[in-house]
Amino acid sequence: MKFSVIIVVYWVVGVQDASQGLLVVERKGWGGRVPWSELERWSGGRGGRASVCGTPCVCVVQSDGQLLVDCSMAQTSADVASSFTSPPPMLADYRNATVRLVLMSSELLGLDDHSFNNLSFTHIHVKYNHALARLAEKAFWSSRATLRVLDLRNNNITMFPLINLKVFQQLQFISLDDNGLSEVPAGVSELPAVLHLSISNNRLHTLHQFALTSLPSLQFLDLHSNRLEYLPPQLALLSALRSLMLWGNPITTLPQGSFHGLRSLEYVDLSYTNVIEVGISSMETPTSAPWFLSFRHTPITKLSETAFHNGSLPSWVDLRETGLQSLDQAFFQPLLQHMAQQNIVHNDWGKPQLWIHNEELACDCSIKWLVTNTTLLNHVSGRCNDKNINMRFLDPDYFNIFCF
Ligand SMILES: *[C@@H]1O[C@H](CO)[C@@H](O)[C@H](O)[C@H]1NC(C)=O
Ligand SMILES: *[C@@H]1O[C@H](CO)[C@@H](O)[C@H](O)[C@H]1NC(C)=O
Ligand SMILES: *[C@@H]1O[C@H](CO)[C@@H](O)[C@H](O)[C@H]1NC(C)=O
Ligand SMILES: *[C@@H]1O[C@H](CO)[C@@H](O)[C@H](O)[C@H]1NC(C)=O
Ligand SMILES: *[C@@H]1O[C@H](CO)[C@@H](O)[C@H](O)[C@H]1NC(C)=O
């Protein structure tokens, strides 16, 4: 899948170069570039296709007024800088324009400080560069007042780039997925506008104690497939957070109050972790939204009846492929009663329910309380270990006669 995506990217870049290369060559007499002051002329009424920077980057004003800077053909950081040696375009009339940098599938190893002279980007897509390991702290310095989207996925970055990320105060979207990062430094904090932050599929084993703090707008945090062994406590303070993806980390314990400040929570994925026990208050959240909790494929054997304490109970709970051997009434009855009271249907998850298929689960007299109440049983989807029978089809009369 990943492979086919890269092929498509190559193809798109190739076509753009084929159509634009010609215009750049035609202008060789001007030193291979159109003077910056002509940006407006090229953007207005003439098809807007000529490059306004030097090679190897191609900079075109598109018909909708966006400036697209494509440096995918650059081989070195000096190559990139050589495209921007003359003063960059006056963007005064493009105050609200999108200025997009694309640098994909190149052989580039790194980007030095001030690689783009003083050109300011709103969107940066530097991705799928398999050898790109180094982004100097000031590589995108001129974009610090304008950058909204920073997409650095699928490179070979092992040292956190742009260590002082907080200078980019307009940032809304950050992706560092599929790199080799092992730490998140303190500078990834105090970003008032960030909505989406993902650093999945890296080698993260630690977060600086001030990393991911003061992110008042953050709604989506994706840290899946990393090496975190504990839940970083500062995550509990992300009051706007709606979705927290932590699956595929070797997390073993969930301390009390792990989610105590998550007022907007809708989705928590702790599947494929090493959590064994869900302890007192560990899942307490003040959220007012119906929320989804997944512990799928974890070795959980113990659920504390006060795990949610007096916080909000989840409406969908995935406990498939866990180590649970029975459905403890003290934990599950209030949960299912909560589900039964809610009159909601989610597009993907359907009505509120508990998924509990696993190899260990015994459907013995300990679940009489459940089998004899169809209202509650209606919200359970699971099978028993011995007879592989759907729990909804268990015979309540049998339990009434034989269990007392
Ligand atoms: C970039 O710098 C040049 C001088 O080096 C200046 O004339 C120009 O206004 C600057 N452009 C922007 C967008 O700041
Ligand atoms: C730029 O955007 C701001 C806020 O969205 C708006 O108030 C302003 O009129 C826009 N300016 C131009 C020149 O389009
Ligand atoms: C990626 O980085 C690692 C070390 O950080 C290095 O061993 C490897 O060769 C790099 N990959 C490429 C394609 O350059
Ligand atoms: C939980 O209990 C504490 C202390 O009794 C109270 O301050 C808090 O508001 C309660 N939270 C909820 C969600 O009921
Ligand atoms: C089943 O549980 C629901 C929800 O708690 C409750 O209202 C109802 O009385 C119970 N029914 C029986 C037969 O116990």
Q: What is the pLDDT of residues 66-112, one digit of tens each?
A: 889 999 999 999 999 988 887 655 444 455 688 999 999 999 999 99
174 close to 196: Cβ distance less than 8 angstroms: yes
Three-class HEC string of the chain: CHHHHHHHHHHHHHHHHHHHHHHHHHCHHHCCCCCHHHHHHHHCCCCCCCCCCCCCCEEEECCCCCEEEECCCCCCHHHHHHCCCCCCCCCHHHCCCCEEEEEECCCCCEECCCCCCCCCCCEEEEECCCCCCEECCCCCHHHCCCCCEEECCCCCCCCCCCCCHHHCCCCCEEECCCCCCCEECCCCCCCCCCCEEECCCCCCCEECCCCCCCCCCCCEEECCCCCCCECCHHHHHCCCCCEEECCCCCCCECCCCCCCCCCCCCEEECCCCCCCEECCCCCCCCCCCCCEEECCCCCCCEECCCCCCCCCCCCEEECCCCCCCCCCHHHHHHHHHHHHHCCCCECCCECCEEECCCCCCCCCHHHHHHHCCHHHHCCEECECCCCCCEHHHCCHHHHHHHCC
Residues framing ligand 2 (Cβ under 6 A): 95-96
Contact between 327 and 353 (Cβ < 8 Å): no
What pLDDT does 65 receive? 77
Rounded CA Rg of the chain: 27
Q: Nearest ligand to the C-alpha of residue 379? A: 5
Q: Given a cut of 80, is residue 44 above it in pLDDT?
A: no
Domain extents for the chain? 228-404
- Number of residues written out for the chain: 404
- As a whole number of angstroms, the distance between CA 182 and CA 174 comes to 17
Q: For residue 285, how far is its CA from the centre of ligand 4 (angstroms)? A: 10
- This prediction's pTM: 0.84
Q: Probe ligand 4: pick from 265, 285, 310, 313, max atoms within 8 Å of CB?
A: 310
Q: pLDDT tier at 287 (50, 70, 90 boundaries)?
A: very high
- Tell me the ligand closest to 371's alpha carbon: 5
Q: Which CATH number is associated with domain 228-404?
A: 3.80.10.10
Tell whether omega for the bond before 250 is within 30 degrees of 0, i.e. cis: no
**From the CA of 11, how far away is ligand 1's center (Å)?**
34
For residue 311 and ligand 4, the question of a CB distance below 6 A is answered with yes
Residue of 335, 376, 377 to mutate, ligand 5, most atoms within 8 A of C-beta: 376
Ligand 2 atom having least distance to the Cα of 93: 13
Nearest CA to ligand 4 atom 2: 310
pLDDT of residue 49: 55
Banded pLDDT at 37 (limits 50, 70, 90): very low
- In the reported structure, the alpha carbon of residue 356 is separated from the centroid of ligand 4 by a whole-number distance in angstroms of 29
pLDDT of residue 111: 94
User: Residue 112 has what pLDDT?
Assistant: 93
Choose the residue to mutate in 375, 376, 377 for probing ligand 5, maximizing ligand atoms within 8 Å of C-beta: 375
